[in-house]
Amino acid sequence: MPQPVPPATRTTSKDADPATNTAASVPMFNLTRQYGMIGRDIDAAVLAVLAGTEYIGGTAVTKFESQLGEFCKCQAIAVSSGTDAILAGLMALGIGPGVSVITSPFTFFATAGCIARTGAKPVFVDIDPNTFLIDQHAVEQAMNPAVRCVIPVHLFGQMTPMGELTQWACRHGVSVLEDAAQCIGAHDSDGVVPGELSAAAALSFYPTKNLGAAGDAGAVLTRSDALAARIRQTRQHGEVSRYMHEFVGGNFRLDAIQCVILSIKLANLTKWNQRRIEIADFYNRHLADTDVTTPYRIPLGRHVFHQYVIRTPKRDELKEYLARLRIGSMVYYPVPLHLQECFSNLGYKSGALPNAEAACRDVLALPIFPELTDLELMTVASAIRSFFGKKPLC
């Protein structure tokens, strides 16, 4: 589930505000700072790949897959993007024309776009208004004989509770493919991690993710040997041996340069995720007495805060106010998928999924990345407090 890059993430040495494209006092996101910390290691690793000329497949890819699999407690198959992780997962599960796949309308386009690309029909169900995650009861109500798969979206860094959902799916003969693009390092309230109970889980390493590549990259997680083998074959055009193809797959390979970069970053991911949690705790404390709804955390779960998303009926006014102060913010997502023009043939109308539609009107993501300074956090919180008539922190 990759996300569009705001101008603030396309920086070299200068931050920019996504609303005005001017120098930002607090950027929405900044990769320059991270590169400044690990750039020498990345440069050396990339140059080693270039010198070795093993660009496609090889030891760099298998090493990263092994490291990622150990971190995620699953087999890991590296692929070309988070979108392709979803698509390859669906293809490997045999999803195609004549079947339906249930998913959330409050997510990045790729989740449903991949369903449509297989020829299957997306079935959108509403979300929980507190967590933004797919509503388990709505999934059960949407069940029909054509449904062969459910894609729960672990949104903004928090996992959908997987136990009840996978038990229900098993009873109905339905596969579960997790869209875990935003939640590497998270677990649900039972300690379940992506890919543990489902058929597979799709990860994204888009540059803005908690674990981000230097371009598009992704992976599929699974605990099934058979499915892992099928996904590996799928990413290589369905090839069973050189130039011999058992079925039509795709070119979903991840190159070696991205893998060596990701290996270096993976070693830092735990501390980076912890810093995101600390930032979220800071926002929670200092926005508690304002007229915003701070993110709901499922008890006992681990939310890794890919995004820190607040809600307010004054979302647009607040966003404009922050932009005037050169503080970055973003709306994820402004239009729910069931109301996108490309899915108009499915017949959904405004009001059909009210919780998702309300979220699209109210949500605003604030700056959150590990290298944010305490002063920048105080600046953001003070601005929001001032907007709502509260005493600023600084």
Instruction: Delimit the domains of the chain by residue range.
Output: 38-266, 268-387
CA distances from 168 to 136, 163, 207, 290, 311 (A): 9, 9, 35, 40, 31
pLDDT at residue 5 tops 60: no
pLDDT at residue 10 tops 50: no
Share of the chain above pLDDT 70, in %: 94
Specify whether the CB–CB gap between 236 and 100 falls below 8 A: no
CATH 3.40.50.10210 applies to domain 38-266: no
pTM for this entry: 0.93
Same CATH fold assignment for domains 38-266 and 268-387: no
Residue-level pLDDT at 24: 58
Backbone angles phi, psi at 12, to 5 degrees: -110, -70
Query: How long a stretch of residues is the chain?
Result: 394
Residue-level pLDDT at 6: 40
What average pLDDT does the segment 26-32 reach? 96
Q: Could you give the angle at the alpha carbon of 275 between the alpha carbons of 273 and 280, nearest 5°?
A: 95
Q: What is the tens place of the pLDDT at every residue in 219-230?
A: 999 999 999 999
What average pLDDT does the segment 189-203 reach? 98
What average pLDDT does the segment 313-328 reach? 98
CATH topology of domain 268-387: Aspartate Aminotransferase, domain 1 (3.90.1150)
pLDDT at residue 3 tops 60: no
What average pLDDT does the segment 142-168 reach? 98
Q: What is the tens place of the pLDDT at every residue in 330-381?
A: 999 999 999 999 999 999 999 999 999 999 999 999 999 999 999 999 999 9
Q: Could you give the angle at the alpha carbon of 258 between the alpha carbons of 328 and 210, nearest 5°?
A: 35
Strand order of the β-sheet with 75-79 is 75-79, 218-222, 200-204, 175-179, 147-151, 100-103, 121-124
Give dist(CA 157, CA 135) in Å, integer: 17
Confidence of residue 91 (pLDDT cuts 50, 70, 90): very high
Specify whether the CB–CB gap between 106 and 358 falls below 8 A: no
pLDDT at residue 260 tops 90: yes
Query: What is the pLDDT of the chain when averaged over all its residues?
Result: 94
Confidence of residue 11 (pLDDT cuts 50, 70, 90): very low
Q: What is the dihedral of CA 251, 253, 255, 259, to 10 degrees?
A: 160
Bridge partners of 363? 311
Higher-confidence position of 392 and 206: 206
User: What does the block give as tokens for 18?
Assistant: 């996504």
What stretch of H or E contains 386? helix 374-387
pLDDT at residue 201 tops 50: yes
pLDDT at residue 2 tops 70: no
Specify whether the CB–CB gap between 372 and 279 falls below 8 A: yes
The letter for the amino acid at 340 is Q
Q: Could you give the angle at the alpha carbon of 393 between the alpha carbons of 390 and 394, nearest 5°?
A: 120
Residue-level pLDDT at 363: 98
What stretch of H or E contains 123? strand 121-124
Report which of 160, 141, 155, 140 is spatially closest to residue 105, judged by C-alpha positions: 155
Query: Is the N-terminal amide bond of 333 cis, ω within 30° of 0?
Result: yes
Specify whether the CB–CB gap between 315 and 341 falls below 8 A: no
